[in-house]
Amino acid sequence: MRPCIPITLLCLLLAACNAPAPTTTEAKPEAASRPLPAGERRIKVPDGTELYVKVAGRGPVCLFVHGGPGQGSLSFERMGGDSLEAFLTMVYLDQRGSGKSSNATDYHLDRVVQDMEDVRRQLGVDKPCLIAHSFGGILAVAYAQRYPEHVSALVMANTSLHFMSDEQRRMQIHFVSTLLKNPSLDVADDVSGEALAAAHARARAALQESGNGYRFLSDDKKTVRTMSELDESYPRTIDYGMAVVTRPNDLPEYYRDYTPVTADIRIPVLILSGRRDHAVGPEHYKTFRFPHQQVVQLDSGHLPYYENTRDFAAAIRDFMTTIAP
């Protein structure tokens, strides 16, 4: 039986029939600009890992950078991400060890970012925009920092730039304490280290036992059930996510604070923040310092593309219009 991340852990990790068989292509030097053919394919990167990619839609090319870690792109696509296809050419990429892509031995951030570059070059796209969700924000910022000449814009949708930080843990503890009306679960703002980790584990367990384990992601249990059903509807892998979560000493770069990097990224940035997002937190975006950022707050939890599809898509459409050449 393949491993499965419990939905409560997925909350903290900030979690097609009859389609033609994906084709496999080797990553090559950048091709001439051309319209992207729709459909599924597999791109083999230099270390032999095969990455699943699906292209759909019309308009400027945008690469979706999913979260999790290890979530895969299918639930985003099927739960409202496809609404962007009316005005964007969406490239849904499953990161190595995620979704329909193959597992790998190297899950370092540098390698995952290089995968994104290999996909860009293979598709022959000069400057795609990046649409990142949740943990995917770390990957998108790392890519934009390394390849600024190959990114037209960033869309940061409820993104984390400091994975499992003390601030995130305190936010979630405060939320659980308030939701369950149990002040004994709460902690002072100066609690840190092992004491904070233990308090966070207690709060998480209490939330799960109360039947509210889904509440970090959404107020609506059906929303999280829909996501879970889609994620479990195919034989996906979560190897990348398991590596990041269970081997923090081997992959410490994922636990660093990337908010200072934002001051050096000078492309247009749209920040979308859900007012009821308790996975990343409704205030985390305030630590970002992109020089050319716009902020839109949405009436949603952690999954705005599903909970508020209309406003999510409209915000991105309007942003893309303002940066059009």
pLDDT digits (tens, 9 = 90+) for 254-270: 999 999 999 999 999 99
List pLDDT tens digits, range 172-206: 999 999 999 999 999 999 999 999 999 999 999 99
Percent of the chain with pLDDT over 90: 88
**What pLDDT does residue 22 have?**
52
8 A C-beta contact, residue 88 and residue 60: yes
Tens digit of each residue's pLDDT (9 = 90 or more) over 99-145: 999 999 999 999 999 999 999 999 999 999 999 999 999 999 999 99
Please write the tens of the pLDDT for every residue from 280-289. 999 999 999 9
- Identify the sign of the CA torsion 14, 267, 82, 222: positive
The per-residue b/e assignment along 193-223, b for 16 or more CB within 10 angstroms, e otherwise, is eeebeebbeebbebbbeeebbbbbbbeeeeb
Q: How far apart are CA 312 and CA 325, in angstroms?
A: 22
Q: Please, which pLDDT band fits residue 14 given cuts at 50, 70 and 90?
A: very low
First to last CA, the chain: 50
C-beta separation of 280 from 287 below 8 A = no
Is residue 5 scored above 70 in pLDDT? Answer: no
User: What CATH architecture applies to the domain 7-162+221-323?
Assistant: 3-Layer(aba) Sandwich (3.40)
Cross-strand partners of 52:
42
Evaluate if residue 80 carries a pLDDT over 90: yes
pLDDT category, 23, cuts 50, 70, 90?
low
Q: What is the pTM of this model?
A: 0.91
What is residue 20's predicted lDDT score, i.e. its pLDDT? 40
Query: What is the pLDDT, as a whole number, of residue 32?
Result: 41
What pLDDT score does 34 carry?
67
Q: How do the domains of the chain map onto residue ranges?
A: 7-162+221-323, 166-214
Average pLDDT of the chain is 92
